[in-house]
């Protein structure tokens, strides 16, 4: 008995059992047994459709429908999740790609070009702070020092790979973006716009760029009762001022966000003035100019507040992604596909990073969004209506029919 007649929602439900937890969350972090179990489940679905399945040196799962003679079109997303994540983020794109292949085959469609379905390794990056690992490798970007990064248990990325039978030094052999001619990705919106407007399909026009930082403010740990307020060097107070200043800046600008999402203070006693505050900053903008302004703002704000609070400052950039304009021709193809499928659609930018933002720097790329209930993601509450995910898959298949029919 195969899953041949199942809906996309049925497949997502089955997949969510792998790494599934009480309360509905799903945990399949990078290089974990759960993630590889998901690979094996999806790999079986791919083989049922006659795809050639492999896992490349960067841990990307690739199923190739070797048909036609042109340059392959790739469709992908990711199967890894954040801890306690949802059932749709990433999984939707991979599962729908498999279903789209099935639909095209059922229709007797004969592509002029091969089709690759890809699940990229470690899109989320929560375990090793190495987000987009697989798509980075796929586009041939250097891995820098990521091999030495450790997870919460002190395991290095290099060792976690080795445990699963992978060698970090061989990752460069996964650089195959030159072999493909276009890239498509279906994803949940992870935002509230489509639901609020009652629209089924988001046609993504651009993906925001972002800058990540790690900040350490160092003051003086001291007695909470005997140290006069004006003599304190309170690192947490400095961090709080930074968080609020960035929030105020982003609030009065269109398409800009700022977030302080992780903070720890030392020594961490209820009756001790915090001597050290370590925290992260994540800022995003839709344009290159907006990002440059944000970089300047972060540096200036953190430096000014550290000086005013008499704190020593370490500001370390940890992450940089440039904004990406998606391919105008493919964006128009997605819109046509939505019309063909009778789905309502609107254009919108993506505020979240995706594998498409790396692959799309090398080949024409487009993204399709389906509505997220309540705009919630990275949570067990993440949900998209079964009818919406089915429509999303249909629009993906219809877009593929256009792309695979000619070597554009």
Residues lying near Zn ion in the complex (CB under 5 A) are found at: 89-90
Question: Distance between CA 249 and CA 257 in Å, rounded?
Answer: 9
Query: Reduced to 3 states, what is the DSSP secondary structure of residue 366?
Result: strand
Cα–Cα distances in angstroms (integers) from residue 271 to residues 264, 311, 332, in the given order: 16, 20, 61
Cβ closer to Zn ion: 31 or 279? 31
Look up tokens 């899109």; give the residue: 123
Q: How far is the CB of 26 from Zn ion (least distance, A)?
A: 12
| 375 touches 189 (CB < 8 A) | yes
Residue sitting closest to Zn ion (CB): 90
Q: How far is the CB of 78 from Zn ion (least distance, A)?
A: 6
Backbone phi and psi for residue 272, each to the nearest 5 degrees, phi listed first: -125, 130
Contacts of 196 (CB under 8 A, 6+ apart): none
Q: How far is the CB of 269 from Zn ion (least distance, A)?
A: 39
Q: How far is the CB of 307 from Zn ion (least distance, A)?
A: 39
Cα–Cα distances in angstroms (integers) from residue 114 to residues 5, 94, 125, 283, in the given order: 24, 17, 30, 38
Q: How far is the CB of 126 from Zn ion (least distance, A)?
A: 12
Q: How far is the CB of 261 from Zn ion (least distance, A)?
A: 17
Backbone conformation region of residue 86, classed left if phi is above 0, alpha if psi is from -120 to 50, else beta: beta
Q: How far is the CB of 20 from Zn ion (least distance, A)?
A: 18
Cβ closer to Zn ion: 377 or 402? 377
Q: How far is the CB of 8 from Zn ion (least distance, A)?
A: 16
Residues shown for the chain: 408
Cβ closer to Zn ion: 18 or 245? 18
Cα–Cα distances in angstroms (integers) from residue 362 to residues 138, 355, 402, in the given order: 10, 12, 20
Question: Distance between CA 79 and CA 64 in Å, rounded?
Answer: 17
Cβ closer to Zn ion: 73 or 356? 356
Beta bridge partners of residue 281, listed in sequence order: 213
Q: How far is the CB of 146 from Zn ion (least distance, A)?
A: 19
Contacts of 29 (CB under 8 A, 6+ apart): 35, 80, 81, 82, 83, 124, 126, 127
| 274 touches 234 (CB < 8 A) | yes
Cβ closer to Zn ion: 27 or 301? 27
SS (H, E, C) 221-236: CEECCCCCHHHCCCHH
| 371 touches 195 (CB < 8 A) | yes
Cβ closer to Zn ion: 120 or 166? 120
| 192 touches 370 (CB < 8 A) | no
Q: How far is the CB of 96 from Zn ion (least distance, A)?
A: 13
Question: Distance between CA 284 and CA 38 in Å, rounded?
Answer: 31
Cβ closer to Zn ion: 89 or 335? 89
Cβ closer to Zn ion: 89 or 382? 89
* Peptide bond between residue 267 and the one before it cis (omega within 30 degrees of 0): yes
Cβ closer to Zn ion: 261 or 329? 261
Query: Reduced to 3 states, what is the DSSP secondary structure of residue 153?
Result: coil
Cβ closer to Zn ion: 274 or 323? 323
């Amino acid at each position: 008995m195969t899953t041949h007649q199942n809906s996309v929602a049925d497949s997502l439900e089955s997949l969510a059992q792998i790494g599934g937890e009480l309360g509905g969350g799903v945990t399949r972090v990078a290089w974990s047994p759960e993630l590889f179990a998901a690979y094996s489940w999806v790999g079986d679905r791919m083989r049922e459709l006659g795809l050639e399945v492999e896992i490349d040196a960067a841990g990307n799962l690739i199923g190739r429908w070797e048909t036609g003679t042109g340059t392959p079109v790739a469709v992908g997303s990711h199967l890894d999740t954040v801890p306690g994540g949802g059932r749709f983020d990433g999984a939707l794109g991979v599962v729908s790609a498999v279903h789209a292949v099935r639909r095209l085959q059922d229709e007797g469609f004969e592509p002029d070009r091969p089709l690759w379905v890809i699940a990229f390794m470690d899109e989320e990056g929560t375990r090793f702070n190495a987000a987009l690992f697989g798509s980075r490798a796929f586009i041939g970007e250097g891995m820098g020092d990521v091999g030495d990064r450790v997870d919460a248990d002190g395991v290095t990325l290099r060792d976690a790979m080795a445990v699963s039978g992978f060698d970090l030094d061989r990752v460069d052999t996964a650089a195959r973006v030159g072999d493909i001619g276009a890239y498509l990705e279906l994803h949940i919106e992870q935002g509230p716009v489509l639901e609020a407007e009652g629209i089924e399909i988001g046609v993504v026009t651009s993906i925001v760029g972002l800058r990540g930082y790690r900040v350490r403010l160092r003051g003086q740990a001291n007695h909470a009762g005997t140290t006069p307020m004006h003599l304190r060097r309170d690192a947490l107070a400095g961090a709080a001022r930074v968080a609020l200043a960035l929030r105020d800046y982003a609030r009065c600008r269109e398409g800009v966000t700022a977030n302080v999402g992780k903070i720890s203070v030392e020594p961490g006693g209820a009756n001790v003035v915090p001597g050290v505050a370590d925290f992260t900053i994540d800022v995003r903008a839709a344009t290159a100019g907006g990002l440059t302004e944000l970089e300047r703002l972060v540096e200036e704000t953190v430096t000014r507040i550290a000086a005013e609070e008499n704190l020593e400052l370490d500001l370390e950039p940890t992450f940089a992604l440039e904004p990406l304009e998606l391919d105008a021709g493919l964006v128009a193809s997605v819109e046509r596909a939505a019309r063909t499928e009778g789905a309502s659609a609107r254009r919108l930018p993506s505020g979240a990073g995706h594998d498409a933002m790396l692959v799309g720097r090398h080949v024409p790329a487009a993204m399709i969004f389906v509505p997220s209930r309540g705009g919630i993601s990275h949570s067990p509450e993440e949900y998209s209506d079964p009818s919406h995910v089915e429509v999303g898959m249909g629009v993906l298949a219809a877009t593929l029919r256009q792309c695979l029919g000619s070597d554009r």
